[in-house]
């Protein structure tokens, strides 16, 4: 029997639970750990006769998720684990018996996920889990995009900005970085698809990549005007990948609405545009979770592919965070997850 260290015993005896502890306790219950670990195990290095045995997938996956939730660099997460008993409890580390896995170990794990496109699999598996529990409806999709900033400074080894990132103008302000395109379930507000591009690419050009084919309605702002006439959409409909009777609820351009003469027709269009905007507003919830609560406002790596892998992991974790109350209300237990 393993003996509990004095620090762990003292921590267990304290009376007040912090917000971090409550958050980690909830996520520990709602994340489908067994299903996600099973995705990674076939690609994870096995223990050999020579060298240090690899740290298990369950611990590394928890470390990776902590890194996303708190927007920490590899070294910063290592330091945070030494500082925070709540984080060590979440991972299952007792400093009285072992050290915290180092930053290099986490770096190798993250590269493994990127190499085998496992964050896409994690997002798909989380959504399958939520669909089985009746939380992802798939009857309508809201398409939208948000800009994730990239460093514009050239004070780096190459003396250049990231060539895969670009700038775009939004309103009267220029932004340099990446665009995260998302397809969101219109009923639950959960993200079902993610595509990342340079910030200057048009939203409508990637809308077809955000549709799963089961939806009967598609909602989008005026940046998606003309989506139903694009070649990739009509081709998908002809091939049966999208419904022929799709209801395209795209916002009217503001200037077009403003130019209409005052009267009953304009009032009716204004009412209809407000109703469409109320449905589209649900897409802001996952963006709020990812950018404000998880702090993913700036890319961490150079190139689109690495940052897209991270964006998909954020989408999966945001879905679990948004659905956590309903999952907990269903009586989900850690063992069932």
Say if residue 273 is exposed, middle or buried (CB neighbours under 10 Å; 0-12, 13-18, 19+): middle
Q: What angle, rounded to 10 degrees, do the helices at 304-329 and 118-132 form?
A: 20
Cα 82-84-87 angle, rounded to 5 deg? 100
Residue 181: in which H helix or E strand, if any?
Answer: strand 173-185
Q: Where are the alpha helices (DSSP H) in the chain?
A: 6-12, 19-30, 33-40, 57-70, 74-83, 85-91, 103-115, 118-132, 231-238, 254-258, 264-280, 284-288, 304-329
Token couple for 7: 């620090």
Which pLDDT belongs to residue 19? 92
* Cα 94 to Cα 24, 72, 87, 90, 183, distances in angstroms: 17, 21, 11, 11, 41
What is the residue whose two structure tokens read 């660099």?
Answer: 73
The secondary structure of 151-176 as a DSSP string is -----SSSSS--TT-EEEEETTEEEE
* pLDDT tens across the length of the chain (337 residues): 455 555 555 555 566 789 999 999 999 999 999 999 999 999 998 865 555 667 889 999 999 999 999 999 999 999 999 999 999 999 998 888 888 889 999 999 999 999 999 999 999 999 999 999 999 888 999 999 999 999 877 766 666 788 999 999 887 888 999 999 999 999 999 999 999 999 999 999 999 999 999 999 999 999 999 999 999 999 999 999 999 999 999 998 888 888 888 999 889 988 998 999 999 999 999 999 999 999 999 998 999 999 999 999 999 999 999 999 999 998 754 444 4
Query: What pLDDT is attached to residue 155?
Result: 62
Report pLDDT for 55: 83
Residue pair 202/169 in contact by the 8 Å Cβ criterion:
no
Q: Quick one: CA torsion of 239, 245, 249, 253, rounded to 10 degrees?
A: 70
For residue 33, the number of C-alpha atoms closer than 13 Å in the C-beta half-sphere is 23
Q: What is the pLDDT, as a whole number, of residue 332?
A: 58
Per DSSP, the residues of 51-80 read SPPPPPHHHHHHHHHHHHHHT--HHHHHHH
Contacts of 159 (CB under 8 A, 6+ apart): none
DSSP state letter for 41: G
- Strand bridging mode 140-149 / 217-220: parallel
For 295: left if phi > 0, alpha if psi spans -120 to 50, otherwise beta; the answer is left
Asked whether the beta carbons of 301 and 307 are under 8 A apart, the reply is: yes
Burial class (CB within 10 angstroms; exposed 0-12, middle 13-18, buried 19+) of 1: exposed
| CB 179, CB 198: distance < 8 Å | yes
Reference 149, options 170, 165, 169; nearest CA is 165
* CA–CA separation, 301 and 304 (whole Å): 8
Contact between 307 and 300 (Cβ < 8 Å): yes
CA-CA-CA-CA torsion for 41, 193, 235, 250, nearest 10 degrees?
Answer: 180
Bridge-based pairing of strands 217-220 and 166-170 is: unpaired
């Amino acid at each position: 029997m393993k003996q509990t260290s004095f620090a762990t015993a003292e921590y267990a005896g304290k009376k007040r639970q912090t917000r971090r502890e409550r958050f980690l306790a909830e996520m520990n219950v709602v994340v489908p750990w067994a299903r996600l670990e099973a995705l990674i195990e076939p690609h994870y290095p096995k223990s050999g006769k020579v060298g240090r045995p690899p740290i298990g997938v369950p611990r590394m996956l928890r470390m990776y998720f902590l890194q996303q939730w708190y927007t920490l660099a590899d070294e910063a997460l290592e330091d945070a684990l030494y500082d925070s008993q709540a984080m060590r409890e979440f991972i299952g580390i007792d400093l009285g018996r072992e050290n915290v896995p180092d930053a290099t170990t986490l770096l190798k794990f993250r590269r493994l996920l990127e190499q085998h496109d496992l964050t896409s699999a994690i997002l798909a598996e989380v959504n399958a889990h939520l669909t089985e529990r009746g939380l992802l409806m798939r009857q309508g999709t809201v398409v939208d995009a948000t800009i994730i900033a990239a460093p514009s400074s050239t004070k780096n080894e190459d003396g250049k900005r990231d060539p895969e990132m670009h700038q775009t103008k939004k309103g009267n302000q220029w932004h340099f970085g990446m665009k995260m395109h998302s397809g969101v379930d219109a009923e639950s507000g959960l993200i079902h698809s993610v595509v990342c591009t340079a910030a200057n690419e048009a939203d409508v050009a990637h809308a077809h990549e955000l549709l799963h084919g089961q939806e009967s309605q598609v909602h989008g702002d005026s940046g998606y005007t003309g989506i139903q006439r694009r070649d990739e959409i009509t081709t998908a409909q002809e091939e049966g990948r999208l419904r022929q009777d799709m209801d395209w609820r795209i916002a009217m351009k503001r200037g077009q609405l403003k130019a209409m003469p005052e009267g009953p027709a304009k009032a009716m269009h204004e009412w209809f545009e407000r109703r469409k905007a109320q449905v589209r507003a649900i897409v802001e919830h996952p963006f709020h979770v990812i950018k404000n609560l998880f702090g993913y406002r700036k890319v961490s790596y150079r190139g689109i592919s690495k940052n897209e892998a991270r964006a998909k992991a954020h989408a999966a974790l945001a879905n679990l965070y948004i659905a956590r109350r309903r999952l907990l209300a269903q009586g989900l237990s850690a063992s069932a997850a």
